[in-house]
């Protein structure tokens, strides 16, 4: 049995946790901040759903890039809270796995 490389397959899990987090944050962010976050991580929000701009999979790498965009746009405090939230729901990106192994 061969194992898929990490992040090679799209799972609704990552699209759902990113969309849920972004939808919750949108009430506290201005349009420019939301656009900066999405542009930085090459994602878009369409009808409450997250997808990649390149039509590629929303996967572990997408979650990693989203958290880095949060850090760049909103700062390390917002990033830390985002990372905790993602870890609690089971994110397995390289960022969330640091310190666990």
SS3 60: helix
Q: What is the mean pLDDT of the chain?
A: 85
Cα–Cα distances (Å) from 101 to 12, 46, 73, 92, 95, in that order, read 25, 35, 29, 11, 12
- Per-residue pLDDT of 8-48, as tens digits, reads 445 689 999 999 998 887 678 888 998 999 999 999 988 88
What pLDDT, on a 0 to 100 scale, did the predictor assign at position 11?
64
Q: Is the pLDDT of residue 100 over 60?
A: no
How far is the C-alpha of 54 from the C-alpha of 82, rounded, in Å? 24
Write down the domain spans for the chain: 12-96
């Amino acid at each position: 049995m061969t194992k898929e490389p990490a992040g090679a397959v799209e799972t609704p899990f990552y699209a759902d946790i990113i969309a849920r987090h972004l939808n919750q944050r949108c009430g506290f962010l201005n349009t420019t901040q939301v656009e900066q976050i999405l542009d930085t991580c090459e994602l878009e929000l369409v009808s409450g759903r997250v997808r990649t701009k390149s039509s590629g999979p929303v996967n572990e790498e997408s979650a990693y890039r989203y958290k880095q965009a949060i850090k760049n746009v909103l700062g390390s405090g917002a990033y830390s809270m985002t990372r905790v939230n993602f870890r609690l729901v089971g994110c397995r990106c390289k960022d969330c796995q640091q310190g666990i192994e």
